Amino acid sequence: MQIAQNSVVAFHYTLTNDAGEVLDSSEGREPLTYLHGAGNIIPGLEKKLEGHQSGDKLQVDVSPEEGYGEKQDALVQEVPRDAFQGVESVEPGMQFQAQTQGGPLMVTVTSVEGDTVTVDGNHPLAGQQLNFDVEIAEVREASAEEIEHGHVHGEDGHEH
């Protein structure tokens, strides 16, 4: 079966940046499983998997526009330290959920200088070319329930 709209796809992958550094991998884990066409994975990868089938191995390069987007300077902000009430120590690398006019946004602390904390609301991979080595493990038809819910369910059904 070929990967198409409303198929369930399981694949192994290794993700590297342009410098060849491994950013993520399914090695030693279960394959990543998603519902094709439901927006469960980044658009550039989903497009390139279309039409492939179980056993296929491919290399997929995804531009920032089709990955996590370009880095947006407006999402990097300096905020007062007292915005983190109840947090004893704020350190670079910590992540928090911020409430914005557009809804909740995950931000990462990039620096702390005195009473000023710099946070970045960009995805950590924003602005980066993403290079995937992919091996398709399985392709099957999605159940009506998976299609209705917009995601894959485990062997025992869904847990929501």
pLDDT per residue as tens digits for the range 47-79:
999 999 999 999 999 999 999 999 999 999 999
37 alpha-carbon distance from chain centroid: 15
7-68+125-149: CATH architecture: Roll (3.10)
User: For the segment 111-154, what is each residue's pLDDT rounded down to a tens digit?
Assistant: 999 999 999 999 999 999 999 999 999 999 999 999 999 999 87
One of 2.40.10.330, 3.40.309.10, 3.30.413.10, 3.90.800.10 is the CATH number of 73-120, namely 2.40.10.330
CATH 2.40.10.330 domain locations along the chain: 73-120
pLDDT of 96: 94
User: What pTM was computed for the model?
Assistant: 0.82
Q: 25: burial class by Cβ within 10 Å (0-12, 13-18, 19+)?
A: middle
User: For the segment 86-104, what is each residue's pLDDT rounded down to a tens digit?
Assistant: 999 999 999 999 888 888 9
Q: Is the pLDDT of residue 160 over 70?
A: no
Contact 46, 36 (CB under 8 A): yes
Mean pLDDT of the chain: 94
Distances (CA, A) of 44 to 58, 77, 87, 158: 14, 29, 38, 27
Beta bridge partners of 135: 12, 57
pLDDT of 155: 63
CATH 3.10.50.40 domain locations along the chain: 7-68+125-149
pLDDT of 101: 86
Q: Is the pLDDT of residue 156 over 90?
A: no
pLDDT of 80: 96
